[in-house]
Amino acid sequence: MGKQLALVCVLGFCAFGCTSSSPSGDEDLVKGFKVPPVPDGYTRYVLPAVHGLAPGEDKLFCQWIALPSDTDLDFVDVMGYQTVTGHHIALYSTSETEDVGTSRECTTADMIPIEFLGGVGGEGAPNVAKLPQGYVFRERKQRMLLANAHYLNATDSLQDVQSVLDVKTSAPSPNLTAVGMAVTNWSDFQIPANTPSYTTDAYCTWQQDIDVLMYSNHMHSNGISVKSELMRGDGTIDTLRSDPQWTAEQAFNPNWATFPVSAPMHIHAGDTTHIQCTWQNNTGSMMAFPDEMCDGIAMYTQSPAQILCDAAPHM
């Protein structure tokens, strides 16, 4: 017999903690949404349902799903399932505190304090940001778990939509290497009002060596395109990530460039990241950070510590 399912409900949100095969909690899912039993060693989070998503609606929801942990936790694997019209689920830790069970459309402010832990593609596609074996994302202590669920209703009827995450965690282990997040941040830009296309370039010189396994660009909903490249001391240039057509959902669902453990993208101290961002501004007001962003995010192997490299408009 499987172990008894542990169910905790807060404000209509339910989390199932399971260490062996057990019931899936179907009674808490919207009608017609079926998911398999919880795998051994995983914790299930049944995310809040969104009712009455209209035909053509395209919405990103931020959903706070767990209280902060008193210790660091390594995220070994993330799996998930979505109803029809589900586009993706991304899992983050955040320092932004809300009641567990809070579910609302994401805001610009929600994007600032988050750190990526994993994600799955639409309607339960496999983990879209799986690290190589032996490497893990780490939730730092005193940070809440935040799920970002994207739904795009391409049907001709109202839909009740929902997502489920199955997460495997462990205490930090010497057998697992936690990747750190190194961010190139360019914040001193101003996008003029009523501008169909505005481009800015920024540069950041690294102060230490790092080996990068994953890299993504980061902008918000006004982005048109963005590219990041690495300018070496010998004059050569390596592409980190190019997004010639930026979409708003990439703000929460990054497109990652990946590099193998055997051949990571090595950044030497003294190398320079060049980021070029192009936006549109259809409003009557100037737009600046943090309403828009021009960032590059690298997952590196030397340390779980977070690194911030402040960019400037000139080398």
Q: Is 80 exceeded by the pLDDT of residue 93?
A: yes
Per-residue model confidence (pLDDT) at position 11: 37
- Residue-wise pLDDT for 230-287, tens only, equals 999 899 999 999 999 999 888 878 889 999 999 999 999 999 999 999 999 999 999 9
Binned at pLDDT 50, 70 and 90, residue 120 comes out as: confident
Question: Which sequence spans correspond to the domains of the chain?
Answer: 6-177, 179-310
pLDDT, averaged across the chain? 88
Per-residue model confidence (pLDDT) at position 12: 38
Q: In this structure, what DSSP letter does residue 129 have?
A: T
φ, ψ of residue 251 to 5 degrees: the values are -60, -35
**Per-residue tokens: 285:** 């007001």
Q: Map residue 124 onto helix, strand or coil.
A: helix
Could you check whether 6-177 and 179-310 share the same CATH topology?
yes
**Per-residue tokens: 253:** 């669902």
Per-residue model confidence (pLDDT) at position 138: 92
Per-residue model confidence (pLDDT) at position 27: 61
Q: Give 181's strand partners.
A: 299
Q: Is 50 exceeded by the pLDDT of residue 305?
A: yes
Q: In the chain, pLDDT over 90 holds for what percent of residues? A: 71
The b-or-e profile of 252-289 (16+ CB within 10 A means b, else e) is: bbbebbbbeeeebbebeeebbbbbbbbbbbeeeeebeb
Q: Is 70 exceeded by the pLDDT of residue 1?
A: no
User: Comparing 117-121, 175-179, 189-193, 289-293, which segment has the lowest mean pLDDT?
Assistant: 117-121
**Per-residue tokens: 178:** 């936690």
- Residue-wise pLDDT for 25-70, tens only, equals 556 899 999 999 999 999 999 999 999 999 999 899 999 999 999 9
Check if the beta carbon of residue 177 is closer than 8 Å to that of residue 261. Answer: no
Q: Which residues, in sequence order, are CB contacts of 108 under 8 Å at separation 6+? A: 220, 290, 291
Q: Is 90 exceeded by the pLDDT of residue 74?
A: yes
Sign of CA dihedral 168, 174, 177, 178: positive
Per-residue model confidence (pLDDT) at position 17: 43
Question: CA torsion angle for 172, 214, 131, 75 (degrees, to 10)?
Answer: 40
Per-residue model confidence (pLDDT) at position 156: 95
Q: Is 80 exceeded by the pLDDT of residue 22?
A: no
Per-residue model confidence (pLDDT) at position 119: 85
Binned at pLDDT 50, 70 and 90, residue 21 comes out as: very low
CATH architecture of 6-177: Sandwich (2.60)
Q: In the chain, pLDDT over 70 holds for what percent of residues? A: 89
Check if the beta carbon of residue 212 is closer than 8 Å to that of residue 299. Answer: yes
Per-residue model confidence (pLDDT) at position 118: 87
CATH architecture of 179-310: Sandwich (2.60)
Binned at pLDDT 50, 70 and 90, residue 108 comes out as: confident
- Residue-wise pLDDT for 124-157, tens only, equals 555 567 788 899 999 999 999 999 999 989 899 9
